[in-house]
Amino acid sequence: MSEIEAKKPAAYRVQDDELLLDFYKKLLWNRIVPRIPASVAPNTLTILGQICGVLSAIATGAAIAGAPIFYLVSAVLLLAYLTFDNIDGAHARRTGQCSPLGEFLDHGLDGIASAAILIVTGLVLTLDHTWLVLLCVLGAFGFVALFWEQFRTGLLVIPRFSSTEGITVLIVYQSVRFFAGSPDFLAFSTDEITAGTVLVALVFAGYIGAAIPSISRAAKLGVSAWELAPLFVLMAAQLGFSYFGSHPLVPAATAGLIGANVTCRLILLRHRGETGPFIAPVLWLSIAPLFVPAISTELWTPTGWALISLAIVTLDYGRNLWFGGSELLGRTREARTA
């Protein structure tokens, strides 16, 4: 296949290789789906899942602030998110409610929960400052790489160790933090090797390696991985805010929302039959506030400038969701009345 042919947006196919997928289906999800009323819209389940993901991050923050019971609350919310994220599509297929809008919201909104779960991971592993932001940059980049491969080749491959397995580990880890407290051996340290340090190393290695198979498979079809280089630069620029002293949660969230934004655009372009570009020019404005603290930290605060960057990304993400969702809703209605 030539590079030009490989770059054409292709049909939607999924290959889900997750290790724990069948376990959860047999234990929980296959029992729930038949009991969901047909009147419940699949998109409602999708949105509920995103809310659970965000609330999980808030609960983790409360646990770290001194209320350990919220580790268990966060774990339950993570399980709820994972459940909603996996039953919405099954419910849509069972009730004949599948649509381009459903796919767009499922994966486009999933970037929000993905960013929240990355933050939960960083907080539970006691990462701070640049380490937390770097984790979110790598995680968000790997998230986009999956949908970039789908956009260029037509195949969305969910790896064997993906969100289902990662969230399961988080649930176990948060349960341990609740029952065992916060022992030193669970804390991440750059001064000595602890269980937390080893786990962090494994998490980073996993996220670094997450994008490699997608890039490799696409490369075999003639698609250049250099397409993703500007995206990585855009995300990695958020590390600068942390370097200049911003609260790390702000650039961490921004990196995650950049991933969600670009994923939305990839899905929308594929439904339009367009080949790109898949990075909206306005996203480059999110780097502009970084130059101010680089010149002088006395002109407001690094966190304030990081918030402006977050606002730019959030507004464009909201625009993509609104107009992209409206466009695909119109197509769905036309298809049903045709």
Q: Does residue 8 register a pLDDT over 70?
A: no
Number of domains comprising the chain: 1
Which residues constitute the domain of residue 143? 3-337
Residue 298: both structure tokens together: 């006395």
Residue 306: both structure tokens together: 């990081």
pLDDT digits (tens, 9 = 90+) for 216-230: 999 998 999 899 999
Please report the pLDDT score of residue 128 as a whole number: 81
CA distances from 5 to 2, 89, 155, 217, 218 (A): 5, 30, 15, 15, 12
Burial 104-141, CB ≥16 within 10 A → b, else e: bbbbbbbbbbbbbbbbbbbbbbbbebbbbbbbbbbbbb
CATH number at residue 291: 1.20.120.1760
Q: Which residues contact 257 (CB under 8 A, 6 or more apart)?
A: 111, 112, 115, 310, 313, 314, 317
Residue 27: both structure tokens together: 């234990």
pLDDT digits (tens, 9 = 90+) for 300-332: 889 999 999 999 999 999 999 999 889 888 877
CA distances from 114 to 2, 40, 51, 136 (A): 33, 24, 12, 9
Strand partners, 14: 156
Which residue type does 215 have?
I
pLDDT digits (tens, 9 = 90+) for 200-218: 888 888 888 878 989 999 9
Please report the pLDDT score of residue 2 as a whole number: 42
Q: What average pLDDT score do residues 286-296 get? A: 88
Torsion angle of the four alpha carbons 179, 183, 185, 190, in this order, in degrees rounded to the nearest 10? 130
Residue 156: its H or E element: strand 155-158
Strand partners, 157: 15
- Written as one string, the DSSP assignment of 258-316 is HHHHHHHHHHHHHHHT-----S-GGGGGGGGGGHHHHH-TTSS-HHHHHHHHHHHHHHH
pLDDT digits (tens, 9 = 90+) for 140-193: 999 999 899 999 988 888 877 888 888 998 899 899 888 887 777 777 777 788
- Kindly report the pTM of this predicted structure: 0.89
Instruction: Name the band, by pLDDT with cuts 50, 70 and 90, for residue 96.
Output: confident
Q: Does residue 3 register a pLDDT over 60?
A: no
